[in-house]
Amino acid sequence: MWVLHKTGLLVLVLVLMVLGSNAAPEGCGLPERLTKPHLRKVLEVRWVLVQAFADYPAGVELVSRLNSSLLEVDLKDDNETVQFTERNTVSGMCLIFRGNLSAPDPETSNHTLLLLSSVQEFDSKVSPYDDQGRADVYQSCPECLTMVYHGVFEGTPGRMLLIYRSEGKHLDVEQLKAARSANAQTAECLKFNILSQFNYDGIAEFCLDKKEEEKEASDGR
Ligand SMILES: *[C@@H]1O[C@H](CO)[C@@H](O)[C@H](O)[C@H]1NC(C)=O
Ligand SMILES: *[C@@H]1O[C@H](CO)[C@@H](O)[C@H](O)[C@H]1NC(C)=O
Ligand SMILES: *[C@@H]1O[C@H](CO)[C@@H](O)[C@H](O)[C@H]1NC(C)=O
Ligand SMILES: *[C@@H]1O[C@H](CO)[C@@H](O)[C@H](O)[C@H]1NC(C)=O
We report the CATH number of the domain holding residue 113 as 2.40.128.20
Name the percent of the chain lying above pLDDT 90. 62
C-alpha 103 to ligand 4 mean position (Å): 14
Domain that holds residue 56: 26-220
160, part of any domain: yes
4, part of any domain: no
Please give the C-alpha separations between residue 191 and each of 38, 148, 186, in angstroms, as whole numbers: 27, 12, 9
Q: What is the 3-state secondary structure (H, E, C) of 107-153?
A: CCCCCCEEEEEEEEEECCEEEEECCCCEEEEEECCCCEEEEEEEEEE
Residue 139 and residue 31 in contact, taking contact as beta carbons nearer than 8 Å: yes
Beta bridge partners of 134: 114, 150
Task: Work out which ligand 4 atom sits closest to the CA atom of 110.
Answer: 1
Tell whether ligand 1 has an atom less than 6 A from the beta carbon of residue 37.
no
9, part of any domain: no
Best residue among 91, 197, 207 to mutate for probing ligand 2, ranked by most atoms within 8 Å of CB: 91
pLDDT tens-place string over residues 173-205: 888 888 999 999 999 999 999 999 999 998 999
62, part of any domain: yes
Tell whether ligand 1 has an atom less than 6 A from the beta carbon of residue 78.
yes
- Predicted TM-score of the model (pTM): 0.83
190, part of any domain: yes
Tell whether ligand 3 has an atom less than 6 A from the beta carbon of residue 102.
no
- Angle at Cα 25 formed by Cα 23 and Cα 27, nearest 5°? 155
Tally of domains within the chain = 1
pLDDT tens-place string over residues 39-57: 888 999 999 999 999 999 9
Task: Work out which ligand 3 atom sits closest to the CA atom of 81.
Answer: 5
Among the bound ligands, the one closest to the CA of 197:
2
57, part of any domain: yes
C-alpha 101 to ligand 3 mean position (Å): 10
50, part of any domain: yes
Q: Which residue has the higher pLDDT, 129 or 211?
A: 129
- Has residue 131 got a pLDDT over 90? yes
201, part of any domain: yes
